[in-house]
Chain A
Amino acid sequence: MLTPYPGDASCSCEHSSGHIDILGQSVGQSRHALPLMSGEVRAGFPIHADAELDRVLDLTEHLIPHPSASYFCRAKGDSMEGHGIYDSDLLIVDRSLAPVTGDIIVVALDGELTCKQLGRWHGQPALLSGNPAYPPIALRGVECETWGVVTHNIHAHRGRGRR
């Protein structure tokens, strides 16, 4: 289902954190609609489950509204932990969206793809990380290009580290 990343020159860079690997295309044709439980699961006091299962949800459709412009990427490193993106999390990246301030984006910086937050620093547009160990990068005079907007981050709570 996934086309491996071509060539031997990887987009990612081992010695720097926050870079990403492109895993392959997102396939929009798969159909795995599962029952959607009505009611909410509250974090806190348990509520009486109201188990109506008459609606279904297709996760692919829900997460990937633009399959022809979307990619799965694997996050690497610890630079975005402050935004809830941990090493080896799976990112869904949509190229068709215009980034706005506050978005988590994949950006081509110095010829490499990296994951940052588009934000402001000292009143200037800047690329921010989610870790004080990685200082902001002011965008003025820096050649960089938005590659896509990260719309979702899939974080495994079980078996982390195993892919």
Chain B
Amino acid sequence: MRVASGGGSCLTRVWEDRLRAVLLAAVIAAFAGGLPPGWAAEAQPPAQKAEAKAAPAKAEYVGSETCQTCHEDIFNAFKKNAHAAVDAGKKKKAWEGKACEACHGPGSRHAESTEKADILNPAKANPATADKNCLTCHLNQPTHVGRIQSGHAHNQVACAACHPIHKEETAKTPRTASINAQCSKCHPSTWAQFQRPYKHKLPEGAMSCVDCHNPHGSFLPRSVSLSSGNEPGCLKCHGNKRGPFTFDHVPVQMEGCTACHQVHGSANPKMLTRHEVRNLCLECHSNLARPAPAASNGLGGIPPAIHDLRSPRYRNCTACHQKIHGSYVNRGLLR
């Protein structure tokens, strides 16, 4: 009974082991791109993909002049784009006269059939595939130090979403306006903040988004750019807030300008996050000073003071604490 039972168990175990092995192989194969075929094909590099599609007769490079025959407008505009240097062989000799195919893959089959399916169109490919094209040449560049951890990379925003690959670079649109228009297409709610009365002057064309943000990613969160090494980019224009102050207002150093300011725009004067200054200050400076404050109550503890909020003098904190970003001479930030 025990043997029979044991025999049955062994058999079951063998089948279980086999099943497990098959499942494991399937999982590995799936991860390795073996299953299903449709899935794997999508992950192929662009040039290989175009070649794979052209399996019946291997596609060959035909040169940019062949492309010009049908796409003359694109070709002419491209000649005034920075990428024209590829066609001139200034970057890699191998691509001289073949700039179109450097990104679109060999074009002989498409030239013969004129079918869209016979050529790779990075603009219509998924962003990861399209970006592989761009990063073949542009990966190891200074602007990409923060790229991998940037919000754009995390959200699969393709290079071509912002950078015109074919278009002629003209001077018809002011640079700031064109950058702002570009960014606001995907960030309309951020652009909406600039319609508030107190704001940085982006709609007026005095600034552009890239004055404060590095769209390729930065050391700081939200791709905020840096100045003078590792200082926040805000200090590029607000140099008088740089310090180091003899007496710091610590949130300025630790949480940055956004601790008190809505930097894109606000309905409150000086782009503050609160409608009255006292609310802004007292929200932090309110916990009682005591030997061991609750950890969750944070820094900024002050003891009871003479500030009677019924008097307008004490409702306007910056009327006395005028050096609110930090003072060189007074610990209370009064001078």
Q: Do A and B bind each other?
A: no
